[in-house]
Amino acid sequence: MRFLFKNLEEILASIAISITVLMVITNVVLRYGFNFVLPWSEELSVICFIWATYLGISSCYKHKLHMGVDVILSFLPDKAIIPFKLVISCFLLGLNLYMAYLSYQYTMLSSKVTPVMGMSYFSINAVLVACFALMAIHTIRFIINDVKLIRSDLDSPGTG
């Protein structure tokens, strides 16, 4: 069960991208082999691709795989790097929470449905709320780790 929660974004993104690939391949085979297409497969592919993209964004954020500019860190003394990262993490927490709030408002306004499947845009836009909420949770974890590092630096002998 712990594996599931630890890798939630990766598992869900893998399922979504697998459905996307399966739908596209199926539709290509049906179109060129049998001159027939599944009318709903394009919509489902796009929806799953959107979900895979946003879950992938959250996964990359969790593993700190997004590109960053570290030039400022090279100018800071060693003792100031962790506190600076803590300030940046606090800013990102606020930003992610605000984006989750805006995404929630946007999702609640979703009243349209997709043309073929009749699926509510609520289920499509809900990934925005999930993505930014997960990123906020990961940011809290980053903050906790940075605070632990600062405490361990203060508690270690020879500092003062």
> Per residue in 143-153, pLDDT tens?
999 999 888 87
Residue with tokens 């990934």: 127
Query: Whose CA is closest to 62, among 26, 24, 92?
Result: 92
Give yes or no for residue 154 having a pLDDT over 80: no
Contact 103, 125 (CB under 8 A): yes
> Per residue in 89-137, pLDDT tens?
999 999 999 999 999 999 999 889 999 999 999 999 999 999 999 999 9
113 strand-pairing partners: 120
> Per residue in 27-81, pLDDT tens?
999 999 999 999 999 999 999 999 999 999 999 999 999 887 788 888 999 888 9
Domain positions in the chain: 1-67, 68-160
Dig out the tokens for 159 from the structure.
């500092």
User: What is the Cα 26 distance to its own chain's centre?
Assistant: 28
Q: Taking the CA atoms of the chain, what radius of gyration do you get in angstroms?
A: 21
* CB atoms inside a 10 Å sphere around CB 84: 13
How far apart are the C-alpha atoms of 59 and 56, rounded to whole Å?
5
How far apart are the C-alpha atoms of 92 and 61, rounded to whole Å?
11
